[in-house]
Amino acid sequence: MNLLSWKEAMQKLYEAILKGLQESGGFYNARIQGHFESYLASLQSFVKRLRQAYRNNRVAVDYSSTDMQAAYLIAYYPHYVEMTLKILKLLSSYLKFNQEIKACFFGAGPCPEVAGLTQFLAEQFPKTKRLVANVYDIASNTWTPSRNITHQYVIPQLWQGQVELNSYSLNLCARQSFQGIRSSLEGADLYIFQNCLNELGDTLPAQENVNFLFDTSSQGSIIIIADLQYGQNHTFVQVVREMINRKNDFKILADERRLAIRCSLPPLMVRRNLLTDPLGPSLLSPRVNVNFLVLAARKNKQAYNYSDDVPF
């Protein structure tokens, strides 16, 4: 099978999202909303609300409405798939995957990171045939309709492998919450936190949970923290960076304060009915760039401390 170019893959991605919104139930209803174009136009107010919320350093959004989720899937999700792909390409020289891999995704919502990983596998690891993806989110049940679009519509367009997608409810800010999911974390190749830090409340328990993950993660696994350029995110990543530097069994693979992607243009149907301001920047302009930071580290064998055996 010929590999898709990324432009072709992004076109397929948008087509899959729009098809999922039309067919999967719970989103578009032709009897109520008429033409699908009218449904897209009705999502404008939800895109505006999302973009107003995301302008704050601390983000609080109620995703319980499927209209809000649909707005997110069209206006944000594709670019976060691109973001994941860029990060994995940055780390590609460190990644060694077998026929089956396991990855854990935190604050994953509708799982654009899972879609990004599958596109990466399609491009660079043709021998990998199966992905076990464990996804964790405080609103795990809320995101079920959108997660189903990822699993049933998006991923099959990007990758021909098999995906086992398991969802867990998890509050990153609850003390010792990772202890309860420890068995599901074991044996993973990748642990990914992406675009969730700016929605954290109390960050101290979240830092403690990340430290627990460092201590219990698999040898050889890679932990990735990637997020947008919010002040709280920089502070959180700085704490984690210092945490890693105090450990002798981790190596930092990437520490990028400023990375960016040039966003792919949405299809004409979206630009005519939803993201209708081509000149921007406005609340209804297609995104042009996504600027973000990345910290990635690999767990190695613990360094041997020779002083333990030297009688000084």
Residue 194 sits in a domain whose CATH number is 3.40.50.150
Structural domain of 217 = 6-301
pLDDT at 302 (0 to 100)? 56
pLDDT at 263 (0 to 100)? 94
Q: How large is the average pLDDT for residues 282-287? A: 93
Confidence check: pLDDT of 175 > 60 = yes
For 17, the enclosing helix (H) or strand (E) is helix 6-23
How far is residue 244's CA from residue 250's CA, in Å, rounded to a whole number? 6
Contact 286, 79 (CB under 8 A): no
User: How does pLDDT run across 124-166, given as a tens digit for each residue?
Assistant: 999 999 999 999 999 999 999 999 999 999 999 999 999 999 9
Cβ neighbours of 238 (radius 10 Å): 12
User: How does pLDDT run across 50-74, given as a tens digit for each residue?
Assistant: 999 988 777 888 999 999 999 999 9
Confidence check: pLDDT of 41 > 60 = yes
Within-domain flag for 187: yes
Q: How confident is the model at residue 304 (pLDDT cuts 50, 70, 90)?
A: very low
Q: Single out the residue of 217, 158, 209 nearest to residue 190, CA to CA.
A: 217
The alpha carbon dihedral of 28, 29, 32, 34 has a sign of: positive
Q: How large is the average pLDDT for residues 92-119? A: 97
Q: How confident is the model at residue 309 (pLDDT cuts 50, 70, 90)?
A: very low
pLDDT at 58 (0 to 100)? 76
Q: How large is the average pLDDT for residues 40-45? A: 97
Please provide residue 173's backbone torsions phi and psi, each rounded to the nearest 5 degrees: -95, 5
Q: Number of folded domains in the chain?
A: 1
Within-domain flag for 306: no
Structural tokens at position 290? 């996504």
How far is residue 47's CA from residue 283's CA, in Å, rounded to a whole number? 7
Q: How large is the average pLDDT for residues 100-107? A: 98
Q: How large is the average pLDDT for residues 160-189? A: 96
Within-domain flag for 309: no
User: How does pLDDT run across 253-278, given as a tens digit for each residue?
Assistant: 999 999 999 999 999 999 999 999 98
Burial class (CB in 10 A: 0-12, 13-18, 19+), 147: buried
Within-domain flag for 312: no
Contact 122, 160 (CB under 8 A): yes
Q: Single out the residue of 225, 227, 223, 226 nearest to residue 251, CA to CA.
A: 223
pLDDT at 19 (0 to 100)? 98
Within-domain flag for 220: yes
Within-domain flag for 226: yes
Within-domain flag for 15: yes
Within-domain flag for 310: no
How far is residue 161's CA from residue 159's CA, in Å, rounded to a whole number? 6
Confidence check: pLDDT of 245 > 60 = yes
